[in-house]
């Protein structure tokens, strides 16, 4: 079943890479380049998982956005996975304390992202018949 993932990320290259991975797993990715947009998308759309960069432009960084999401009774069930290049031990502890369900360091290995998607969204259904000849 196709799921909807919100990726809050201000780096276009990271956005494109993760989008390819998400689409290869059969899911849809919604994009937000800052915390304000991330909040708007999370409130407006039905989201199954959020991938969150911590350092974002604007007034709302990834920590603040996660706090808002986890404090909102309509959104707090959505798993938030941090995906950041600035992931020291203190950032990991803070992310865990505010309710993040996972923490990945950039550049993340493709297999790590796939594993997170499968863990939180379930494995994609395999086709009964291959489109390629045997």
What confidence score (pLDDT) does residue 18 get?
95
Residue 37 near residue 65 (C-beta atoms within 8 A): no
Residue-wise pLDDT for 50-103, tens only, equals 999 999 999 999 999 999 999 999 999 999 999 998 878 999 999 999 999 999
Kindly list the domain boundaries of the chain, sorted by start residue: 35-121
Give dist(CA 22, CA 96) in Å, integer: 24
Cα–Cα separations (whole angstroms), residue 50 to 66, 103, 133: 9, 12, 38
- 35-121: which CATH architecture? 3-Layer(aba) Sandwich (3.40)
Q: Which two tokens stand for residue 32?
A: 């937000």
Report DSSP state, residue 121: H
Give dist(CA 65, CA 55) in Å, integer: 11
Residue-wise pLDDT for 11-51, tens only, equals 999 999 999 999 999 999 999 999 999 999 999 999 999 99
Spatial neighbors of 111 by CB under 8 A, at least 6 apart, are none
């Amino acid at each position: 079943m196709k799921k909807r993932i919100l990726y809050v990320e201000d780096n276009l290259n990271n956005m494109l890479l993760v989008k390819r991975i998400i689409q290869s797993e059969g899911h849809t990715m919604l994009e937000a380049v800052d915390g304000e947009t991330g909040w708007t998308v999370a409130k407006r759309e039905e989201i199954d998982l959020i991938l969150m960069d911590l350092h974002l432009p604007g007034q709302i960084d990834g920590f603040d956005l996660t706090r808002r999401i986890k404090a909102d009774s309509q959104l707090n069930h959505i798993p938030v996975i941090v995906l950041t290049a600035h992931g020291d031990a203190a950032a990991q502890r803070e992310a865990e304390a505010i309710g993040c369900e996972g923490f990945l360091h950039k550049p993340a290995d493709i297999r790590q992202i796939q594993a997170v998607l499968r863990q939180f969204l379930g494995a994609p259904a395999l086709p009964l018949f291959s489109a390629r000849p045997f």
